[in-house]
Structure 1
Amino acid sequence: DDDPGAGGASTDELLSLSGVPADPWAVDDAGPADADPEAVDADALDLAEARTSAGLDDPVRAYLNEIGKVRLLTAAEEVELAMQIEAGSQQARRHLIEANLRLVVSVARRYTSSGLPLLDLVQEGNIGLMRAVEKFDYRRGFKFSTYATWWIRQAISRAVADKARTIRLPVHVGERHGQLLRITRTLSQELGREPSEEEVATAAGLKVEQVRTLRTAAREPVSLDLPIGDDDGGRLGDLIEDAAPGPEQTVSATVVRTEIESILTALSPRERRVIQLRFGLVDDHQRTLEEVGRRLGVTRERARQIETTALRRLRRPSLAAILRDLAA
């Protein structure tokens, strides 16, 4: 049972390639209730186009050539293997997996615009294929490829949602946004123009606000290091105003603060504390008289009296204005 089938990778090798356990999530064991209208018939798959496509890396081309050597199964053979798997045959399980690896490639190629490399998509789809082998019930009468396509698509969709984006989207949000994209493309072809949000919402059975929310959530962040203009070295971040205080403002505030602290030494500890709390000299948080009173264990009126006395003792009419400017 440990020998790999002709021309295919063993289950363990597929798992090691993906780095993900065979059951990485909890899903409904029932699988699809009926045939998926978008399912791919394994008997009709042809890897010739994929093998000759330009831009494929050598490892991908080698993988496609390797899995293309495995003969496709007839419906009767699928049922026979499923019966053997039910009886505990690991060899039959491996055979069914390897005979359907090209089905995974066919599904994975639909997601090549997601940002993940094709081989990564295939590896994730292989995990879905293994799950399909575990859950397939030949008694229900439909072909294994129809059933497996549902699991393969689910595995790849989850991987795209988890790994392809800078900010991870929940799987259901990613899938719903994918539906919006397909509906938008279809409407664009039918109308000969870009459809409005209202038209997309109607076709999707959603509210306009839901369409806007999905589009906003799926929007990728833009790097501040994005080059702009010609070859002048400019970056997008250079155009964004920096709200942080400049060096001159920082130095000026420090000088004023130092001067005020020096002036406050003429006050009693309680008076100094009231002024510091009122004008945010300690933590940049200005407090009300009621808050100051609670801090000192006195009434609001008593806190006001202490503040008034402190300002009078300082005999600096402009001190209050200076304090307010600093706090602002």
Structure 2
Amino acid sequence: MTQTLALPVIASTGSIDAYIQSTKQFPILTEEEEFSLATRFHEENDLEAARQLVLSHLRLVVSIARGYLGYGLPHADLIQEGNIGLMKAVKRFDPRQGVRLVSFAIHWIKAEIHEYVLRNWRLVKVATTKAQRKLFFNLRSLKSGSEALSPAQIADISQQLNVKPEEVAEMETRLSGRDLALDAGNDEDDAVAPIAYLEDSRHEPMRVLERQAADHLQGEGLQAALGILDERSRRIVEARWLADDPATLHELAAQFGVSAERIRQIESKAMQKMREHLTPLAA
């Protein structure tokens, strides 16, 4: 189904607004229309019916994807991942259950976007358990304001999400971290400014060795890892992760003449191959 449905695509970052506007041209289905289309798709494998179900819910994906812009990921890619979730929802939707597709699809759309965010958001290196993922995506909404959580609030949230209090505290630090001026610039505050108490540890033997190892990993190690990839995979990884202006999935799809989903698959496989190559070097 995903290869047959002709959906509006985001050709480039500059066309995101045009894409969003295009999703609004598709009418919202009535309950009777939705039931009829879903029945045709599941009983007769009518792909045109499935296409109409997907098109009528594209605006839902845009709305949900907008809520994840705070993670610094391209809006176009968030929408693309959400559309994959929407198509999975249409494929699994049973109209006889008495639930509207919009309610059923929200779970699948968010699930795909969650996976994309966890794969790509650099601050979160480990979020593998269900509880950790729940913490990652719900901590902001559970905080009552911008102030730091109190011990009692940390304990309450850890109980709600079934994680350790120290995991809540660590995740809050990652999500709310901000820059701190090294020099206060005020004579009265100089004594408590970071510059007054931070030591220069750059020349400690262990730090020097760690820095050399990191430089090797990011320089020669990275080039060696790129070298094990085929030309197309290497170009995709470089365009997505090493370019000053990273390309979107749809831009690369147009360049290589394949679907955006195929580009995502190639990227995922290439990144896994590189990780396996770099892991021994980082040990």
User: TM-score normalized by structure 1?
Assistant: 0.48
Alpha-carbon distance between aligned partners in 2 of 1:169 and 1:96, rounded to the nearest angstrom: 36
148, 151, 167: which one aligns with 1:197: 151
Q: Which has the higher contact order (CA 8 A, sep 6+)?
A: 2
1:92 counterpart residue number: 49
204, 211, 217: which one aligns with 1:243: 204
2:90 counterpart residue number: 133
1:243 maps to amino acid: E
1:144 Cα deviation from its structure 2 partner: 0.5
Alpha-carbon distance between aligned partners in 2 of 1:210 and 1:105, rounded to the nearest angstrom: 34
Q: Secondary structure at the match of 2:164?
A: helix
Q: Which has the higher helix share?
A: 2
CA shift in 2, pair 1:184/1:167, >3 Å: closer
Alpha-carbon distance between aligned partners in 2 of 1:244 and 1:215, rounded to the nearest angstrom: 32
1:112 equivalent to 2:75? Answer no
Q: Secondary structure at the match of 2:19?
A: helix
152, 155, 161: which one aligns with 2:118: 161
Deviations 1:274-320 (A, max 9, x none): xxxxxxxxxxxxxxxxxxxxxxxxxxxxxxxxxxxxxxxxxxxxxxx
- Equivalent residue pairs, number: 186
Deviations 1:181-210 (A, max 9, x none): 22113xx39xxx644132232245259981
1:81 equivalent to 2:37? Answer yes
1:92 Cα deviation from its structure 2 partner: 0.9
State the Cα RMSD in Å: 3.7
Alpha-carbon distance between aligned partners in 2 of 1:219 and 1:203, rounded to the nearest angstrom: 15
Alpha-carbon distance between aligned partners in 1 of 2:143 and 2:104, rounded to the nearest angstrom: 28
1:159 maps to amino acid: Y
Q: Secondary structure at the match of 1:212?
A: helix
User: TM-score normalized by structure 2?
Assistant: 0.55
1:184 equivalent to 2:143? Answer yes
Runs of at least 5 residues in structure 2 that lack an aligned partner in the other structure: 185-194, 207-283
Q: Secondary structure at the match of 1:241?
A: coil
Alpha-carbon distance between aligned partners in 2 of 1:217 and 1:204, rounded to the nearest angstrom: 11
Query: Percent same amino acid among aligned pairs?
Result: 26
CA shift in 2, pair 1:194/1:147, >3 Å: same
Q: How does 1:147-158 map to 2 (within 5 A)?
A: 147-158=104-115
Runs of at least 5 residues in structure 1 that lack an aligned partner in the other structure: 18-56, 231-235, 246-328
Alpha-carbon distance between aligned partners in 2 of 1:158 and 1:218, rounded to the nearest angstrom: 20
CA shift in 2, pair 1:88/1:212, >3 Å: same
Q: Is the 8 A contact 1:180 1:200 kept in 2?
A: no
CA shift in 2, pair 1:84/1:180, >3 Å: same
Moved over 4 A (4+): 1-5, 206-209, 217-221, 226-230, 236-239
